[in-house]
């Protein structure tokens, strides 16, 4: 037995049941985000380098191992599970995992959702709905096809629009996610609000986060959402509401459109006090915080034995180290990423 597994085994003698996960700050962990692959068919400039070195396939958990890990978290109180990437729908046979997890809805799991770039939705939308998925997030930073190609490097805007059409036809509710980027899509936000709300979709805007080395200087693109909202309120009436989806977005209603808009502000307003989330990578690494490097190896526990007591103990040990919050900073004096891993590794 290697030292990692030995450490886990020692912990298993102390804690080996499926009790709920409560972190050191008395926050219940009920939301798991699972990155099923670090690969993506886009290369968004704020997220990835153009020439990425992806994980070798041998390092990835199998779909069966991912299912076992997710099932363990559901047994320990996770009520919402989101599949992410990279782009989750590019993983081979991913719908097998979606279908297996969908069987847990109503049996411990309240909701199974997905974050996607939309490129594969035309192919998978009907099957996603058939598996029990009812809501998805689609990342879309611009409605201009040329700017879309610029920001994604490889993306096809019209293919994403076809995917959105297919998803809505299948009955999936869509929330659009847009990263707010200065001098790129800031002036386009009113149009994006009207587009999303005109089609019955929510829109959430997100501040860019300092994760992973990329070619550009993030300070050139960083747009505080406090400024964006102030600009938007010159033409829209926004009212705070208590609507929540389980994530960190704070929502408003837009009187002129009747739709909802969310703001995710990791930089200007640290939302960590209510964090109920942990993130699992496709290699079995559990990150207790998106913006910290502290992590736990769950792959060793999964592969050491079929006894879930060992896995439960490893999860409990990790949750006992969940930090109070992240330490993201973007300014000219902090021009290196807060964490070295790219968002695609941890899961967006």
With a cut of 50, say whether residue 53 has pLDDT above it: yes
CB of 84 closer than 8 Å to CB of 345: no
Ligand-binding annotation for 161, yes or no, is: no
pLDDT of residue 54: 84
With a cut of 50, say whether residue 332 has pLDDT above it: no
Ligand-binding annotation for 33, yes or no, is: yes
φ, ψ at 173 (rounded to 5°): -85, 135
CB of 340 closer than 8 Å to CB of 309: no
Positive or negative: CA dihedral 74, 80, 83, 86: negative
**Considering only CA atoms, which of 211, 245, 147, 172 is closest in space to residue 342?**
211
Q: Cα–Cα distance between 178 and 176 in angstroms, integer?
A: 7
Q: What is the enclosing helix (H) or strand (E) of 180?
A: strand 173-180
Residues 73-99: tens digit of each pLDDT: 999 999 999 999 999 999 999 999 999
For the residues 182-208, what does the mean pLDDT come to?
Answer: 96
- Specify the residue for token string 């700017």: 147
Ligand-binding annotation for 131, yes or no, is: no
**CA 36 distance to own-chain centroid:** 11
φ, ψ at 140 (rounded to 5°): -150, 115
Looking at mean pLDDT, say which of 19-23, 220-224, 257-261 comes out highest: 257-261
Q: Rounded to 5 degrees, what angle do the CA atoms 167, 168, 169 make?
A: 90
Question: Residue 248: pLDDT band by 50, 70, 90 thresholds?
Answer: confident
**Considering only CA atoms, which of 71, 63, 136, 83 is closest in space to residue 109?**
71
Q: Which residues neighbour 220 within 8 Å (Cβ) at sequence distance 6 or greater?
A: 182, 183
Ligand-binding annotation for 47, yes or no, is: yes
Q: Is 103 in a helix, a strand, or coil?
A: coil
Neighbours of 209 (CB within 10 A): 24
In order of start, what are the domains of the chain with their CATH numbers? 3-346 (3.20.20.70)
Assigned token pair, 110: 């309240």
Neighbours of 65 (CB within 10 A): 16
Average pLDDT, the chain: 86
Q: Which residues neighbour 14 within 8 Å (Cβ) at sequence distance 6 or greater?
A: 313
pTM of the full structure? 0.84
pLDDT of residue 219: 61
CA distances 304 to 10, 297, 298, 310, Å, are 13, 12, 10, 8
Ligand-binding annotation for 70, yes or no, is: no
Assigned token pair, 134: 């009812």
Ligand-binding annotation for 277, yes or no, is: yes
Q: Cα–Cα distance between 204 and 221 in angstroms, integer?
A: 18
Ligand-binding annotation for 115, yes or no, is: yes
pLDDT of residue 165: 98
Can you state the angle between helices 94-102 and 121-130, rounded to 10 degrees? 20
Q: Cα–Cα distance between 84 and 314 in angstroms, integer?
A: 23
Ligand-binding annotation for 194, yes or no, is: no
CA distances 148 to 104, 144, 154, 243, 266, Å, are 37, 6, 9, 30, 24
Ligand-binding annotation for 305, yes or no, is: no
Ligand-binding annotation for 322, yes or no, is: no
Ligand-binding annotation for 279, yes or no, is: yes
pLDDT of residue 17: 72
Ligand-binding annotation for 272, yes or no, is: yes
pLDDT of residue 222: 85
Ligand-binding annotation for 303, yes or no, is: no
Q: Is 225 in a helix, a strand, or coil?
A: helix
pLDDT of residue 209: 63
Residues 108-122: tens digit of each pLDDT: 999 999 999 999 999
- DSSP annotation of 252 reads E
């Amino acid at each position: 037995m290697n030292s990692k597994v030995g450490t886990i085994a020692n912990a298993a003698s102390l804690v080996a049941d499926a009790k709920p996960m409560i972190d050191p700050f008395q926050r219940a962990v009920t939301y798991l985000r699972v990155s099923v692959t670090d690969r993506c068919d886009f290369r968004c400039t704020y997220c990835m380098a153009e020439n990425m070195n992806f994980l070798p396939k041998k390092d990835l958990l199998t779909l069966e191992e991912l299912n076992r890990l997710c099932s363990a978290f559901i047994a320990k109180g996770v009520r919402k599970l989101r599949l992410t990437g990279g782009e989750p729908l590019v993983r081979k046979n991913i719908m097998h995992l979606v279908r297996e997890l969908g069987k847990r809805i109503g049996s411990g799991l309240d909701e199974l959702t997905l974050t996607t770039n939309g490129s594969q939705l035309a192919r998978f939308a009907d099957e996603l709905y058939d598996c029990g998925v009812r809501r998805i997030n689609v990342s879309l930073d611009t409605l201009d096809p040329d700017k879309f190609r610029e920001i994604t490097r490889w993306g096809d805007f019209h293919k994403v629009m076809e995917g959105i059409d297919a998803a809505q036809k299948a009955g999936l509710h869509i929330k659009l996610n847009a990263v707010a980027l200065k001098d790129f899509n800031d002036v386009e936000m009113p149009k994006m609000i009207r587009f999303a709300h005109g089609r019955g979709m929510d829109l959430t805007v997100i501040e860019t986060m300092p994760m992973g080395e990329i070619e550009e200087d993030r300070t050139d693109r960083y747009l505080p959402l406090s400024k964006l909202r102030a600009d938007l309120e010159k033409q829209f009436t926004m009212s705070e509401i208590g609507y929540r989806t389980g994530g960190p977005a704070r929502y408003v209603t837009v009187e002129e459109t009747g739709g909802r808009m969310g703001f995710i502000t990791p930089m200007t307003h640290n939302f960590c006090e209510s964090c109920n989330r942990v993130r699992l990578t496709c290699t079995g690494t559990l990150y207790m915080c998106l913006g910290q490097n502290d992590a736990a190896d769950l792959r060793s526990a999964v592969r050491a034995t079929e006894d879930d007591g060992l896995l439960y103990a490893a999860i409990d040990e990790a949750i006992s180290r969940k930090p109070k919050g992240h330490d993201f900073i973007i300014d000219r004096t902090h021009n290196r990423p807060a964490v070295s891993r790219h968002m695609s590794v941890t899961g967006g």
